[in-house]
Amino acid sequence: MSSCVSSQRHHCSSVRRLPAPTSRAGWHASHFRRRVVSLRATRAEAPSSVPPPPVGGGKAAAAVQAEIVEAAAVWCAAHGLVVGDRENPRSGTVPGVGLVHAPFSLLPTRFPASFWKQACELAPIFNELVDRVSLDGEFLQGSLSRTKQVDDFTARLLEIHAKMMAVNKKEDIRLGLHRSDYMLDSETNSLLQIELNTISTSFPGLGSLVSKLHRTLLNQYREVLGLDSERIPPNHATAQFAEALGKAWAEYNNDSAVVMMVVQPEERNMYDQFWLINHLKESHGVTTIRKSLAQVEAEGQVLADGTLVVDGRPVAVVYFRAGYAPNDYPSEVEWSARVLIEQSSAIKCPSISYHLVGTKKIQQELAKPSVLERFLDNKEDIAKLRKSFAGLWSLDNEEIVKSAIEKPDLFVLKPQREGGGNNVYGHDLRETLIRLQNEQGEALAAYILMQRIFPRASPTHLVQGGVCFEDLTISELGIFGAYLRNKDKVIINDQSGYLMRTKVSSSNEGGVAAGFAVLDSILLTDE
């Protein structure tokens, strides 16, 4: 899951969270200090958003905007671009109850075609890198050895990994469904990686739908908008993720086995998951069951031959859409389930080693000189990866820590966490670094410092709960990647669609599920 790097050039004292999805027609004024605006938007210098062009003034413009917003909301309801309504307590547990449209941008965001091509070309290289690093258990254990002393969650993951190493557990069939997140940095005019997600890469389903929504709106209002829908790149993330899961299931070679999706007990983003489940069934004939970690522990067992059986069904593939954060392990029951899964012969997406590759500390280690060469041979591929790396440092670097204390707005302090809402910025960053230095302990190892990325902000129309409002926003592009390997045979190594998220520029975080951002798509430009 993503923890988006903020792009606000000046520090905000508090995170500005977008209003939570709601079924009501509007929100209390205190939820946002904005007003619904006409289609006549003021363009910032070199904007990345696509505000609707003027179609007349005043009431005429507002009427056209209202029509587009209504058409978009109807499309969402008719095509399943929905999430659970937080106002309804049953919306995270009972399918079909308490639905609202997912938050979305009214129109796609402009994105230079050259950077789009660069991001897509990086996907298979990162896929291969994850696989190579996952096989080096000593590197993973050594790189995270200090972190585990001060981070209980990472320590538990490493403990499971060490157990698998001790019994020489081999994962002959390895499946990765990844997402690498990027922002365009206006300071350097370059595409820089925020993070690489190797577990619970969400929104292949709804992300694909937003691209279709925007293409539909651009075609339906072509005369008004004057935008070419063909410049929205195809987004087949749902189909490609389902294909990877289906082929992994086939490699397991047990026709009676199922795919098991590990989910959180309450999941308002379940419809993103159901899009994938339905596609897997309809296109590949594969059945999926959804289970929480607690249910796995209660209903699961590993047979003598290594087969994982849950609720009486053999499991071919375990696809984690939970298990990435401490909150997913409220008791020893959940940890027991994770160990049970790792001990089995089921294909894990991700395995414990793939999971660890996605930690912030490993990202920082891979950015060190000569480390990529340990895992990759192709010099061109290595150069392409390094070109996308933002500055990444451990807190052992006293010079960088000093710089971060003096100029905290140029850095982001990141713990080993996924899911949004965990990073430290500005004044809080300075205070945290000073405190950690004064403690003189191992706590420094729980964090990394990252260069702060500054994309251009531009006015964008955002829609939540049927209400459209304008704000200055920045966007983050996530490129999905699918990787499937059986021993020495690489079966799939592809870029597999994308996820565009847009958020108000005053927010330090960027997760859609966490309530900070909206779903978006891209409109390729020649800029």
Provide the annotated active-site residues.
179, 195, 197, 202, 360, 414, 418-419, 501
DSSP code at position 64: H
Would you say the C-alpha torsion 144, 339, 326, 508 has a positive or negative sign?
positive
Q: Tell me the CA end-to-end span of the chain in Å, nearest whole number.
A: 30
**Residue among 474, 526, 477 nearest 503 (CA):** 474
**H or E element, residue 260:** strand 258-262
CA distances from 312 to 192, 256, 299, 301, 340 (A): 46, 11, 8, 9, 15
Q: How many whole angstroms separate alpha carbon 138 and alpha carbon 127? A: 20
Tell whether omega for the bond before 350 is within 30 degrees of 0, i.e. cis: yes
Task: Output the DSSP codes for 291-325.
Answer: E-HHHHHHHEEE-TTS-EEETTEEEEEEEESS-SS
Q: How many whole angstroms separate alpha carbon 494 and alpha carbon 358? A: 18
Task: Output the DSSP codes for 125-189.
Answer: HHHHHHHHHHT-HHHHHHHTTTGGGT-HHHHHHHHHHHHHHHTT---SEEEEEEEEEEEEETTTT
3-state secondary structure of 390: coil
3-state secondary structure of 469: strand
Amino acid at 179: R
CA 428 to chain centre: 25
Would you say the C-alpha torsion 439, 443, 412, 428 has a positive or negative sign?
negative
**Residue among 414, 373, 374, 376 nearest 393 (CA):** 414
